[in-house]
Amino acid sequence: MTSTDAQVGFRSDRGPILVALMLATGLIAIESTIIATAVPSIVDDLGGFAQFPWLFSIYLLAQAVSVPVYAKLADTIGRTPIILTGIGLFLVGSILCGFAWDMTSLIIFRAVQGLGAGAVLPVSVTIAGDIYSVRERAKAQGYLASVWAISSVVGPTLGGLFSQYLDWRWIFFVNIPLCLLAAFMIKRNHKESIERTTHRVDIAGASVLTVALTLIILAVLEGGNAWAWNSWQSIGSFAMGAVLLVIFGLIEHRAAEPVLPLSLFRRRLITTTSLISLGVGAILVGLTSFVPTFLEVSADATPLIGGLAVAALTLGWPVAASQSGKIYLRIGFRPTALIGLAISVIGAVMLWTTAETPSPWLVAASCFVVGLGLGLVATPTLIAAQSSVDWEERGVVTGTNLFMRSIGSAVGVAIFGAIANSIIARSGGEESAAAVQAGSSAVFLAVVVAAVATIAAGIIMPSVRAPQS
C-alpha cells in the first residue's frame, strides 16, 4: 500500500469524512440516473410529454442559481451547516415529488429538490478540496468517482424496477433513508473550526439571475410549441431575459459580496474551465435525458434496459475520472482535458450515426465512450480551478465551476427539448416511434456540436501543470 493510499483510504484519520462525502455525493448521483428511466412511466401517468424536459430544466436551474449562494455561505459560515441544509431541502423535495398529483406539481417539487442539490454536490467537492492536497485528490477522486460508478448501475436498475413492477413514485421515496444517513454521517464526522465572519447574502443578484434564466429557458422550451418563435411571447421572454442578465451584471459589480463574483472571470484559467464545465453539463444532460426515452419508444426497450444504457455513460465517467489523476500529474491539466474532449466527440458521433438503427448495445457502447471522455475532462478542470486559489476562495471557485455545469445542463436540456419537440410537431404532433427517433437523432447531433464547441475552450485554457504536493 502506498503512502497516498494510506493517507486517503477509509482507514486513515480522514476516512470517516470521506465516507460521509461519498454518501452525500450518492444522493445526487442516484438522482441523476434514476429519473431518466422513469420519464415514460411518469408521462403515461401524469401526461405532458412536451413538458417533460422541465423535469430536468427546473431541477438544474434551481440547482444552478443556488450553487453560488451556497458556495459563498460555505466560505463564510462553514461547510457543515450548508451541506446539512442542502440535504434537508433535498429530502423535503423528494417527499413532495413522491406525492405529486400532476406534471405541474411534480415540476414545482423538482425545483425544491434542485435547491437542495445546489448545496450538496459543490460543498462535498469543496470539503474534499479542503482536506486533501492536490496529489491526494487524485486518489480521493477515485473514491468519490466510485459512488457514480455504483449509482450508474443502482440508479437505472431501481428506476427501471420501480417503473415496471411498483410505481415511479418510489424513485423519490428511496431518497429518504439516503438523506437521513448522509446527514447523520456529515454531522458526526465533519468538524471544522473557522472564524465566523459577517456576511451578506446577495439576494438581489440571485433573484434577478433566477428570473432571467427562467425566462430564457421558458422561451426556448415553449417556442414553436406553446407559441410561435416570432410571437410576442417568445421575443418578449428572450428580450426580458437578456435585459435581466445585464442588470444582474450591474448588481454583481456593485454588490459587497456578489453571488457570482464576476472578477473571477478575469482569470483565464477560471474562465476557460468554467466554459468547459458549461459544455460538459450540456453534453451530459443531452444524453441522460433523451437516451432512455429514445430506446423505450424507438427500440421497444424496457425502462430497465433504457436505464442501463444510460448507466454505461455514468459508468465510463468515474472509470476515467479515477485514473485522470495519474494523467494530469504527468502531462498537465489541459492536455488531459483535450484528450477527454476528443474521446467524447468520438462517442457522440457513434451515437448519432447509429441512431437510425436503434440498438441498446450500440447506444450503451457509445454512451460509455462519451462517459470515458467526460471523466477526463470534468475532474482535471475542476481540480485545476481549485488548486489556483486558497481556502477562502475555494468554495466560490468550486461553486462557480459547478454552477456553469448546471447552467449548461439547464439551458442544454431546454435547447435539446425544443429541437425534439419541433421535429415531433412537424410530424403532426404525434409522439410516434418514428418522430421520437428523428427528434432524438437531432438531439444527438446537437450533442456532437456541443462537444466540438467545448474543445475551443480547452484549446485556449492556460497550460498549467499540477502541483506535486
> Which residues is 227 bridged to in the sheet?
223
Q: What are phi and psi of 154, to 5 degrees?
A: -65, -45
Residue 124's H or E segment, with its range, is helix 103-131
Nearest-5° Cα angle at 119, 113 to 120: 80
C-alpha cell read off for 24: 452525500
Burial 125-141 (b: 16+ CB within 10 A, else e): bbbbbbbbbbbbbbbbb
Give the 3-state secondary structure of 223-278. ECCCECCCCHHHHHHHHHHHHHHHHHHHHHHHCCCCCCCHHHHHCHHHHHHHHHHH
Question: Which alpha helices (DSSP H) does 190-231 contain, by range?
Answer: 203-222
Tens of pLDDT along the chain (469 residues)? 344 444 666 667 777 888 888 888 888 777 766 776 777 778 778 766 666 677 877 887 787 777 777 877 777 777 888 889 999 999 999 999 999 888 889 889 998 998 898 888 778 877 877 777 666 766 676 677 677 667 666 777 777 777 777 788 888 888 898 899 888 988 887 776 655 555 566 778 878 887 887 788 777 766 666 677 788 888 898 899 899 999 988 988 888 777 777 777 888 888 999 999 999 888 887 787 777 777 777 777 776 677 677 777 777 877 787 778 788 888 888 999 999 999 999 999 998 888 777 788 888 888 899 989 988 998 888 888 887 777 667 777 877 887 788 778 777 877 887 787 777 666 655 556 677 677 777 888 888 998 999 999 889 888 766 655 5
Residue 429 DSSP code: S
Cross-strand bridge partners of residue 379 = none
d(CA 111, CA 100): 13
**Max CA-CA distance within the chain?**
66
Contact 159, 171 (CB under 8 A): yes
C-alpha distances out from residue 335 to 277, 295, 377, Å: 16, 34, 10
Cβ neighbours for 166, distance < 8 A, ≥ 6 positions apart: none
Q: What pLDDT shows up at residue 9? A: 64
Task: Give, to the nearest 10 degrees, the angle between helix 15-34 and helix 103-131.
Answer: 150
User: How much is the pTM?
Assistant: 0.72
Specify the CATH number of the domain 13-202+255-460: 1.20.1250.20
Q: What sign does the dihedral 267-279-402-260 (CA atoms) show?
A: positive
